[in-house]
Structure 1
Amino acid sequence: MKEGLCPSSFFSSGSVDKRRIIEVKPLRSLAPLIPKSAQGSASGFSPFIPIGEPREAQAPPVPNAAPIRSFKKPTVEDDETPHRAANGHIPSPPPPIPNPTPLRSYRSPLVDEETPYGGNSDTSSSVDGLNGHSNGHDQKRAAPQSQSRKSSHKRNRNIQEQDNDGGCESVNSVLMTFDSIRRRLCQLEDANQLDTQNAIKRADLRANNAMTFKGIRTNSRKRVGAAPGVEIGDIFFFRIELCLVGLHGQSMSGIDYVNFKCEDKELPVALSIVSSGVYDDDAEDNDILIYSGQGEHFNKKDKHIVDQKLQRGNLALDRSSQQHNEVRVIRGLRDVGNKSVKIYVYDGLYRIEDSWTEKGQSGGGIFKYKFVRLPGQPSAFANWKMVQKWKAGLLSRSGLILADLSTGVESIPVSLINDVDNEKGPAFFTYLCSLRHTKPFCLVQPSHGCNCSKACVPGDPNCSCIQRNGGDFPYIANGILVSRKQMIYECGPMCQCLPNCKNRVSQSGLKLHMEVFKTKDRGWGLRSLDPIRAGTFICEYAGEVIDKANVSQNGNEEDIDEYVFDTSRIFEPFKWNYEPSILEEVSSKCSSEDYAIPSPLIISARNVGNVARFMNHSCSPNVFWQPVLYEENNQSFLHIAFFALRHISPLTELTYDYGIAHSEGSSAPKGSKKCLCGSSKCRGSFC
């Protein structure tokens, strides 16, 4: 064994009793209670089966059999406490449960390992899993209900065989599917259209249940090292997301491991850890993590000191320190803007270089592990710490040209940064938050606003603005957009509701700390210092509304307006909304995502505009645009709002698809430029 890890030298002399931790008796297996209704096919189960934290003990593996586990309903505290795992005591068998909830069996494709809900497992449902390539994101319009279900099941059966080992497209698709379902469930719950009395109330857990029932996940095979398709620096807003993409297979435990057979013995090896930021010690070096072992070190029931045990996750970390295998590290951080939100950042691969024990505040022995980040990886956690210091004014910013490019127009300053060359800034323009010279959108009859006395309430049948949105409130908490639509109707100055109504998201200006920065090869770009959740409002495309005739197309580079947004361009179709069949909804209730604006809107930001004019093109963007309509002076006006396509890490460049201008024949449109987005889907040029 590695020095410092053998039984004779594991603890410092006189600190704790070595026998209490090293000499651990095997845990008894917990036999699950299986009702008769659960022993048949899973096809009749509801997609919202409450499933939660698994038992700590594991029954001996049975050849050619899928272990069946019992689950309990999770709680908010469970999800936010990754280290609340074993307490070192031998658990007692569970008492008989009257009328137990139907259970489903889970299997692991490689090893027999404890797998909580949302873990790395495949369900035994007759519907096989899907990895994201064909989960409905490539459909332009929803099919009829029967046809949609058949095609969905057919896609599900084929996709897992094609790509069980992830990939960027698969990971992004699974995460987008999860968040789209979660947003829809939040929308239904806000409108009191969701039964939460006898079901799990949290939308993220319900969304996971629906996806598990359909087998929607990727990277289901446990592996040592990187998870395919998950990039260093990727962020997650829910622990369930880590499970769905195979980054961390435990929904609550902070240590994920797998048992490998070695000389007729099964030895656990750590695969990944989640640093909650509560139990771990901060190190001065951002590439070093001091990680505390799992297990309580104080028995509250018996009121006596307990030492952590060298078992399960702790034993896996011990073996990994000897084997020097790579371990994935996910850091949990509190969102500075919202203290109640925890964000998880994938910080890359680490190795355990040292371990020891020390006494906790209660006097019990605690395992400590020193994780050291492998060199040559992109910065992730270090960037977060650096950004926090910038925002707090504790660290000076190199390359800072202007502290506020908007000159006070925006409520949050927009910094101007150039740490690439000596250029002092972009060409002069007048900063404007919205549109100038707007033209009424005459194709929509004004409704003269809603009559809500305070704020529009989701589900209110008397709110005219909600009815214009098809009866659904378009946003959920924190102004998150639920679904893309052909048009979104917001409350405007003509409405009787208060100015802080949640249906005025695109009119509130910037809510994120933005900065305009100089890129290495694409001029000026835009990025955020804040983490951005999928569906978050970014900004409006501000500028002057112009006629088609005023857009130069003569090929002269000096006359071409590079800051034009044209709704009549050809845009690559993509699917962002939830799949109705996953929630057993009728497909016809889901509106089309294809934009159909009969009267084109052309905006030039060459002379006046806001931060949107600095967003560069990408063939695989992380931002999309959405038409928004609201009324002013008894007339309807069309605006273009940008929303986050997926979760976006701080300091990540914000990009959207510029589209392709209409051209005669097969030749490229005039003014086309070579695309440098670097995406695997790059079209080669844009205009």
Structure 2
Amino acid sequence: MEEGLCQNSIPGSGFVDKTRIVEAKPLRSLAPVLPKSLQSSFSGRYPSVFPPFVLFDEPQESQPSPAPMPAPLRSYRNPLDEEEAPHGSNGETSSPMEGLNGNSVDNSQKRAVPPMHSCKYSQKRSKKTKESQFDLSPSVGGISVATREDGDRELVNLVLMTYDSLRRRLCQLEDAKELNTTMAIKRADLRASNAMTVKAFRTNTRRRVGAVPGVEIGDIFFLRMEMCLVGLHGQSMSGIDYMTIKDELQEEPVALSIVSSGVYDNDAEDNDVLIYTGQGENFNKKDKHVIDQKLQRGNLALDRSSRRHNEVRVIRGLRDAANKNAKIYVYDGLYKIQDSWIERGKSGGGVFKYKFVRLPGQSSAFAVWKSVQKWKMSSSTSSRTGIILADLSTGVESIPVSLVNEVDNEKGPSFFTYFHSLRDPKPFSLAQSSYGCNCNKTCVPGDLSCSCIQRNEGDFPYTANGVLVSRKPLVHECGPLCKCFPNCKNRVSQTGLKHQMEVFKTKDRGWGLRSLDPIRAGTFICEYAGEVIDIAKVNKNRGYDDEYVFDTSRIYDTFKWNYEPSLLEEISSNVSSEDYDIPSPLIISSKKFGNVARYMNHSCSPNVFWQPVLYAENNQSFLHIAFFALRHIPPMTELTYDYGCSGHADGSSAPKGRKKCSCGSSKCRGSFG
């Protein structure tokens, strides 16, 4: 009898005797298919710029003996044709692939774009042999061999920020047509992950059951590769990640993590329950007949985990409201499989179903998303507890800014006039022949005849979807004097709020700011609006006390956000300095006039940073302070930035007037201001 289910093996009652199902061990990964010309000529080093796609392991069986690492593949084998069939029921691989900037890629491109785990290597190689192929040095980019196996929060953030910085840079080059797209790897996300593969720039490579060090419940990911790089989910396409474990009696596969696509998996009424559909097509397109899913590979691992009651990491896939063709993944914590059964799928074939139940005592993640969706869909404010005002901006912002207090009875912050930008700004005198560009309709990346691009050192500062590529000494945006259209991509900081913001009462730090929407790293958040204060007034009165002041002359901790040139060796890098170059100090007070930025609290480990932006109006240039996301920010997470410290003329910090910091960060300096 064929392995798996018989076509007519599903009783009408829904009861299935699992002892009648023939159990199948996970298939071994297929050996690579090498052209004859390479079988004898390979010298042990990668002849091309990028290495083969072997960053993440396939689920492994036992490793009885080491085997040499074969040469890199020149003929990529599509995994959809091999052992990992599309998820006909959970939709993870049958949906369009994640593309550049998180957009979808047409299925016709799948064979031209080799997925990360498409190159099949023999799994009999030893761990030592495998490590030696990637360990170019004992410590690469600050990541030692030990920390690659077991990371922490700081290292996870470093890996994710580094990966996204490479992806943004590659997107920038591709937008400007400066990237060689004739190579096999055309997508920026894959090229970025390959660049990190060369340097072994990853963490949590040791496969494990349970929590992953440094990855927190509620963390969000815009690409599957991000989860792979930090060890949360080791499969770049498959929805089930598993490994083979041994005990005294036997060895068998167990599930480590699953990704719920959110398309075919049933939405249970309880947010802590997930009904997950097994993997495998249940309709044979070639022979045009209904087939049943088989109890093998991921399905077999889930069945064994159901018996063992081991913890399984669950990642929920949700549609990105800003991009209908993309998904956002949220880590929802640890679950256990409480029950499993077989039922008929939409095509008529038998599919496996698994009931996952969330372990109690964990912080909320997916439940927060569902609550936010409910609030957004509700036309009235009564569905939200603690709401004071539906729109704090009183119509100034195109997206309402709600005011919420769920802590005490305070009815709101002190009165101020909502203002969207700077009031009475002071012009800056710059040495430039003309103000504004002469571009037709919109500025085009790579067009060096555009004067605004010239001022940005020849680079377009934003990607096609409006994400800041790199921190720069000064970003030059197009302004009202430019001939390009108002919807030009080089006017990001002038377009107002793009996310639904909420001013809320914190438990111990007054009022704060958070977003109801997820925010991607590099995304514009808001400008710091308010009155520009004359620096002479501040110098005259050092006792000037205003808790709503932003001062560019303060001393700020340095940090690296831009991409690392050594990770993109094939590209002639032109990385600008991350040290700001401001013509003269800018001091802004939002005490009387301001916007949502006045509510962002300080943190010594912030998730937001500020960037000076300059654009011309009325034949004069004005400096503005724009805030961007430092890393991916989940919904309902407080937005914070570093307030810096006031300093003396000799560059030393001045302790007088500082405020005690209660940010709670492990890197807390103890004071700020």
**TM-score band, normalised by the shorter chain?**
0.7 to 0.9
Among candidates 519, 539, 543, match of residue 526 of structure 2 = 539
**Residue deviations 1:88-133 (CA, integer Å, cap 9, x gap):** xxxxxxxxxxxxxx97969899989xxxxxxxx8571352586xxx
Q: Summarize the alignment of residues 633-672 of structure 1 with structure 2, pairs less than 5 Å apart.
A: 633-663=618-648, 668-672=654-658
**Residue deviations 1:224-251 (CA, integer Å, cap 9, x gap):** 1100000000000000111000000011
Match of 2:424 in 1: 437
TM-score, normalised to structure 1, is 0.85
Q: Answer whether contact 2:550 2:589 (CA < 8 A) is retained.
A: yes
- One-letter code aligned to 2:39: K
Match of 1:612 in 2: 597
Distance 2:20 2:41 in 1: 40
Distance 2:127 2:548 in 1: 55
Distance 1:162 1:125 in 2: 14
Structure 2 residue 43 is the aligned partner of structure 1 residue 40: yes
Q: Answer whether contact 1:53 1:252 (CA < 8 A) is retained.
A: no
Distance 2:18 2:489 in 1: 59
Match of 1:375 in 2: 360
Label 1:53 to 1:351 Cα distance change in 2 as closer, same or farther (>3 A): closer
Structure 2 residue 465 is the aligned partner of structure 1 residue 478: yes
Match of 1:187 in 2: 172
Match of 1:294 in 2: 279
| Residue aligned with 1:172, SS | helix
| Residue aligned with 1:280, SS | coil
Structure 2 residue 220 is the aligned partner of structure 1 residue 215: no
| Residue aligned with 2:383, SS | coil
Among candidates 47, 72, 76, match of residue 77 of structure 2 = 72
Distance 2:587 2:157 in 1: 31
**Residue deviations 1:303-332 (CA, integer Å, cap 9, x gap):** 122111111111111111111111100000
Match of 2:585 in 1: 600
- One-letter code aligned to 1:180: S
Distance 2:156 2:396 in 1: 39
Distance 2:133 2:158 in 1: 22
Match of 1:118 in 2: none
**Residue deviations 1:145-168 (CA, integer Å, cap 9, x gap):** xxxxxxxxxx46xx2234531111
Match of 1:517 in 2: 504
- What is the Cα deviation at residue 462 of structure 1? 1.0
Q: Answer whether contact 1:11 1:356 (CA < 8 A) is retained.
A: no
Match of 2:659 in 1: 673
Label 1:330 to 1:515 Cα distance change in 2 as closer, same or farther (>3 A): same
Label 1:108 to 1:524 Cα distance change in 2 as closer, same or farther (>3 A): farther
After TM superposition, the structure 1 stretch with the greater mean CA deviation from structure 2, 41-50 or 354-363, is 41-50
Distance 1:253 1:646 in 2: 26
- What is the Cα deviation at residue 66 of structure 1? 5.8
Match of 1:231 in 2: 216
What 5-or-longer segments of structure 2 have no aligned partner? 96-117
- What is the Cα deviation at residue 52 of structure 1? 10
Q: Summarize the alignment of residues 434-583 of structure 1 with structure 2, pairs less than 5 Å apart.
A: 434-445=421-432, 447-551=434-538, 560-583=545-568
- What is the Cα deviation at residue 337 of structure 1? 2.9
Label 1:528 to 1:37 Cα distance change in 2 as closer, same or farther (>3 A): farther
Match of 2:134 in 1: 125
Label 1:572 to 1:401 Cα distance change in 2 as closer, same or farther (>3 A): same
Among candidates 611, 628, 632, match of residue 613 of structure 2 = 628
- One-letter code aligned to 2:211: A
- What is the Cα deviation at residue 426 of structure 1? 0.7
| Residue aligned with 1:231, SS | coil
- One-letter code aligned to 1:255: I
| Residue aligned with 1:367, SS | strand
Q: Answer whether contact 1:555 1:671 (CA < 8 A) is retained.
A: no
Q: Answer whether contact 2:276 2:353 (CA < 8 A) is retained.
A: yes
Q: Summarize the alignment of residues 300-379 of structure 1 with structure 2, pairs less than 5 Å apart.
A: 300-379=285-364
Among candidates 418, 433, 456, match of residue 405 of structure 2 = 418
| Residue aligned with 1:534, SS | coil
Identity, % of aligned positions: 67
- One-letter code aligned to 1:397: R
Distance 1:638 1:182 in 2: 29
Among candidates 167, 188, 204, match of residue 203 of structure 1 = 188
Structure 2 residue 373 is the aligned partner of structure 1 residue 388: yes
Distance 1:313 1:351 in 2: 15
Distance 2:125 2:227 in 1: 18
Match of 2:31 in 1: 31
Distance 1:6 1:111 in 2: 36
After TM superposition, the structure 1 stretch with the greater mean CA deviation from structure 2, 46-55 or 394-403, is 46-55
| Residue aligned with 1:351, SS | strand
After TM superposition, the structure 1 stretch with the greater mean CA deviation from structure 2, 62-71 or 218-227, is 62-71
Distance 1:609 1:639 in 2: 13
| Residue aligned with 1:550, SS | helix
Q: Summarize the alignment of residues 146-295 of structure 1 with structure 2, pairs less than 5 Å apart.
A: 155=142, 159-162=144-147, 164-263=149-248, 265-295=250-280
| Residue aligned with 2:481, SS | coil
- What is the Cα deviation at residue 624 of structure 1? 0.3
| Residue aligned with 1:42, SS | coil
Label 1:256 to 1:339 Cα distance change in 2 as closer, same or farther (>3 A): same
Distance 2:546 2:123 in 1: 58
**Residue deviations 1:625-658 (CA, integer Å, cap 9, x gap):** 0010000111111110000000000000000000
Match of 2:112 in 1: none
- One-letter code aligned to 1:533: R
Distance 1:496 1:535 in 2: 26
- One-letter code aligned to 1:61: Q
RMSD over aligned Cα atoms? 3.3
- One-letter code aligned to 2:432: Q
Structure 2 residue 84 is the aligned partner of structure 1 residue 82: no
- One-letter code aligned to 2:298: G
Label 1:55 to 1:225 Cα distance change in 2 as closer, same or farther (>3 A): closer
Label 1:170 to 1:81 Cα distance change in 2 as closer, same or farther (>3 A): farther
Q: Answer whether contact 1:617 1:656 (CA < 8 A) is retained.
A: yes
Distance 1:683 1:106 in 2: 50
Match of 1:405 in 2: 392
- What is the Cα deviation at residue 197 of structure 1? 2.3
- What is the Cα deviation at residue 585 of structure 1? 5.6
Label 1:27 to 1:648 Cα distance change in 2 as closer, same or farther (>3 A): closer
Label 1:467 to 1:441 Cα distance change in 2 as closer, same or farther (>3 A): same
Distance 2:79 2:387 in 1: 47
Q: Answer whether contact 2:516 2:635 (CA < 8 A) is retained.
A: yes
Distance 1:642 1:487 in 2: 13
Q: Answer whether contact 2:338 2:356 (CA < 8 A) is retained.
A: yes
- One-letter code aligned to 1:65: A
After TM superposition, the structure 1 stretch with the greater mean CA deviation from structure 2, 658-667 or 348-357, is 658-667
| Residue aligned with 2:513, SS | strand
Label 1:676 to 1:667 Cα distance change in 2 as closer, same or farther (>3 A): same
After TM superposition, the structure 1 stretch with the greater mean CA deviation from structure 2, 398-407 or 27-36, is 27-36
| Residue aligned with 2:305, SS | helix
Q: Answer whether contact 1:129 1:216 (CA < 8 A) is retained.
A: no
Match of 1:22 in 2: 22
Q: Answer whether contact 2:609 2:628 (CA < 8 A) is retained.
A: yes
Label 1:380 to 1:110 Cα distance change in 2 as closer, same or farther (>3 A): farther
Q: Answer whether contact 1:551 1:561 (CA < 8 A) is retained.
A: no
Distance 1:257 1:583 in 2: 32
